[in-house]
């Protein structure tokens, strides 16, 4: 039961931080122009690197369905939830925050632009959190396989 409360705490914290930052960029014109990194408002109508932007209005519903399917999967596979609960809290916070952007602003609010040495896509805090969640899951998978090999 403590893990469930921790997941909700992680979710709420990340979700609120991300939405606060995006609100500042949209309504208070936050920004910064640097030599390595710029913070500038951009709207992404697709997913990573603007892929599937042609789906615009439908994308938010497709993503909601995917997250709902994930909830159903986790409900029937509680051991997966308990093993990856931190990553799941992060993943759902970032994902739902970006989906809320689609309903609120019509697109995902991006603002971090790396441009030193090479031009990189514009992304946001939720995107970084989603990547962190995936990295945690991969790390746990590699660590688990390593334990199995040593115990045999």
Active-site positions read 110, 127
**Closest to 91 (Cα-Cα) out of 117, 53, 127:** 127
- Lay out the sheet containing 32-33: strands in order across: 32-33, 37-44, 108-114, 122-123
Give the separation between CA 15 and CA 92, rounded to whole angstroms.
9
130 CB-near residues (< 8 Å, 6+ apart): 90, 91, 94, 95
Strand partners, 33: 38
Strand partners, 109: 43
Answer whether 124's CB lies under 8 Å from 23's CB.
no
């Amino acid at each position: 039961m403590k893990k469930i409360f921790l997941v909700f705490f992680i979710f709420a914290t990340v979700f609120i931080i991300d939405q606060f930052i995006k609100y500042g960029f949209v309504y208070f014109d936050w920004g910064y122009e640097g030599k390595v990194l710029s913070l500038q408002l951009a709207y992404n109508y697709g997913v990573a690197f603007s892929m599937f932007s042609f789906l615009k209005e439908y994308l938010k519903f497709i993503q909601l369905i995917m997250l709902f399917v994930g909830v159903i999967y986790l409900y029937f596979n509680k051991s997966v939830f308990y093993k990856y609960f931190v990553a799941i809290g992060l993943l759902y916070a970032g994902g739902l925050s970006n989906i809320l952007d689609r309903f609120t602003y019509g697109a995902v609010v991006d603002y971090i632009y790396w441009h030193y040495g090479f031009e990189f896509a514009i992304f946001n805090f939720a995107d970084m959190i989603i990547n962190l969640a995936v990295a945690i899951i991969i790390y746990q998978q590699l660590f688990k396989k390593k334990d199995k090999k040593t115990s045999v």
